Homo-oligomer: A and B are copies of this chain.
Amino acid sequence: MRTLVSDIAKSIGKEVTVAGWIAKIRKLGGISFVSLRDRSGIAQIVVEKEAHKLLSGLSTESVVEFTGKVKKEERAPFGAEILAKDVKIISPVSEDVPVEINKKELRANIDTLLDNRPITLRNPEQRAIFKVQAEVIRAFRDFLSGEDFTEINSSKIVESGLETGGAEMFPVSWFRDKAFLSQSPQMYKQIMVGVYERVFETAYAYRAEKHSTARHLNEYLSLDFEMGFITSHEDIMEMEEKLLKYMMKHLEKTCSREFEMLGATIPKVGAKIPRMKLSEAQKVLEQEYKVKCAGAPDLDPKQEKLISEYAEKKLESEFIFITHYPSKKRPFYTYDDPKNPKETLSFDLMFRGLEVTTGGQRIHLYDEYLKKMKDRGMDVEAFADYLMAFKYGMPAHGGLAIGAERLTARLLGLQNIREASLFPRDINRLRP
């Protein structure tokens, strides 16, 4: 029976068998000191005599099993070490790893980091990043399941896109047909509101944007939900507030060690996340930061940073909702504000300087879709499947999409979004 290294202190004075990767090995005379890494942590093993000889020639990352008595040792991780009697080599490594991964912090530029992902991900800080991401996604699903949402899985192979109608989409050869990779599950999640009222999906989405920035991925994990019988976009923002509170509590419970290791703090979500209309935000930026931006349809990256800074300093919140983006610049399905049809009941959520969510209320009446699409010169026939849902009755509804990598990056203070993707893809990267 294998014991995880985090459990050895429970067996002081007894013999245990542990197995893992050699993170460090130091030889001193007839003794080897091994730091052994398994999924639970890193433990100290002292190897003497015959067993010690078996380790000669082994490089770090060799996979080894040790059997021996556990001794109390306050200075060792987990308060104990193992005096190994038996060694079994599971997978010997003879070459040194190309990147030093067994130091706490991995010193490599972004390309070296990503080119060597099969190895660099073994670094404790790298492991911590994706442990946090896994728990972010789990919290998203668990919270929504508890709120009576049903998970859906929609096709990623589509004939066209709601957002851009085929522009900036990746072509796929589907047998003899031409198709595209889905740029969002928008069409499907709206259709599914007609079925379950409340749905969510966690899956990759694709944007063939040519720019290569530290903020964009061409394949990104979209955490989507959509819900019916709402009064306005306010209901969606309230659901996101509750979700974020749940998520941060969940991260405190499951990932405190990871946040500490990465020198990051779990944000507080106040009773109510501040809300500000885009036009108000632009006034603040003009008055407080002398940035000329009134009338622009969106905030640029610099302005997103500044309005976040303002929210943190003046409103005591690391989150801020920016609402009421202009109708012209939002997709056709966005719901116009009945009080001012030039604005929409839409929002973005800024978190630590970056937009991490886009959402809002959608049009739900068939006739309004027809009118909006004709006004925009769109081909109504091409959207027949989508429109079928509205032709046969849909409630007022809305939803949002959270970029999982963006949220992870801002939670952990990662500079480049690629650091929050296990195997990122961009215009220059198709591997590993």
Task: Give A residues with C-beta under 8 Å from B.
Answer: 2, 19, 21-22, 38-39, 61-63, 90-93, 95, 97, 116-119, 121-122, 126-127, 130-131, 133-134, 137-138, 141, 145, 148, 150-159, 170-175, 177, 179, 181, 188, 191-192, 194-198, 203-204, 208, 210, 219, 221, 229, 364-366, 385-386, 388-396, 404, 422-425, 427, 430-432
**Extra A-B contacts (16), CB below 8 Å, given A119-B388, A119-B392, A154-B423:** A19-B395, A39-B197, A63-B393, A91-B390, A93-B392, A93-B393, A95-B391, A117-B191, A117-B385, A118-B385, A118-B388, A130-B150, A131-B150, A137-B153, A155-B204, A175-B427
With both beta carbons as reference points, the residue of chain B lying nearest to A220 in the complex is identified as: B153
- Report the copy number of this chain in the oligomer: 2
A393 to B172, CA, bound (A): 36
What are 9 inter-chain pairs, A to B, with CB distance below 8 A?
A39-B148, A62-B393, A93-B393, A118-B388, A121-B192, A137-B151, A138-B145, A156-B156, A157-B219
Taken together as a complex, chains A and B put the C-alpha atoms of A134 and B92 apart, in Å, by 42
Report the separation of the CA atoms of residues A195 and B124 in the bound assembly, to the nearest whole angstrom. 9
A342 smallest CB distance to B (angstroms): 25
Q: Quick one: which of B19, B191, B393, B422 contacts A61, CB cutoff 8 A?
A: B393
**What is the bound-complex CA distance between A192 and B388, given in angstroms?**
43
**Do A195 and B150 touch across chains, with their CB atoms under 8 A apart?**
no
- A91's partner among B92, B127, B155, B393 (CB-CB below 8 A) is B393
Q: Which single residue of chain B is at the shortest CB-CB distance from A21?
A: B393
